[in-house]
Amino acid sequence: MLNLIKNECYKMISKPIVLVSLVLFFGFNILMFFCWGFNYGGKEDIDKNAAYTAQFQGHFTDEKMQTIYQDFLKEPEVAKEYYKGHSTYDTINSCFINKNDGFLMTLEQTFSTNYESNVKDNLVFADTTGPSLLINVLTKIYMFIGFILIIAISPIFSDEYTLGMDALILTSLYGKNKVITAKLTASFLFTLLVTGGTILIQTIGFLTLYGTSGFQGSVQMNPLKLMSDVPYLMTFSQAMIQMTLVWLFTALFTTLTCTLLSAVCRTSFLSLIGGLVVYIL
């Protein structure tokens, strides 16, 4: 059985279109990391902002918010020049500045409606730049993972019909059941490796740049205003776990859909088109 699985994995990834797609995809991964990872400046800017934010880390209050806001306004020219690396102020600007009149709102005003009553009094402030950028990047990249899975997995069964190997498989030494099991196992292994590898690469990159402290912060406060509408208390570590499970589940579901389409379509082209249509819809 192990040899069968290895053989199916080799058949899947040895196709030129799959190899090219994987190279382009992981190249895109690296490009996304450099484009978004340094969105707030270089490593020096990132470390500078982290050091500034550390003094406010923990339970968040209106007083801390006012201090950050006033620090930024003290010297407008310096502040303006520093803005690119000042993701802490960007968090205040994104989450607490009233866009209609430009005034700074209190925690009570910001979280009085559409949030659970305990949110405003229990928010945890941290340099959430890293985790918010990480989740944002992975969400954007994930849209492309589906295309990689469809390209690689759609021919898993339909290729046998195209090459006329289906009848031979039924009379082979291993028989239909073992071959089907090997094909399904190879498909799900490929999915886990591509999806898990993407998550792992991006996570290591952003942890190297930003560290782990931001994962303790509440999702309601981050420079991208990502997930800031979550109505209950949640930290970025909890959000990352939930999002990882969602990404893995949907990737596995996409794989299951592709294998089913591949089993019923008589040609690889039909299974590929069917997979793309279902995925896009």
pLDDT tens per residue, range 213-246: 999 999 999 999 899 999 999 999 999 999 999 9
Are residues 79 and 69 in contact, defined by beta-carbon separation less than 8 angstroms?
Answer: no
Rounded Cα gap, residues 123 and 58, in angstroms: 8
pLDDT at residue 82 greater than cutoff 50: no
Most distant CA pair in the chain: distance in Å? 81
- The predicted pLDDT at position 103 comes to 85
> According to the model, what pLDDT value does residue 156 have?
84
Sequence-distant (6+) residues with CB within 8 A of 278 are 257, 261
Name the average pLDDT for the chain: 85
Q: Is this structure's pTM higher than 0.85?
A: yes
pLDDT tens string 21-49: 999 999 999 999 999 988 887 888 888 88
Token pair for 3: 């040899």
User: Which sign, positive or negative, has the C-alpha torsion 62, 67, 72, 76?
Assistant: positive
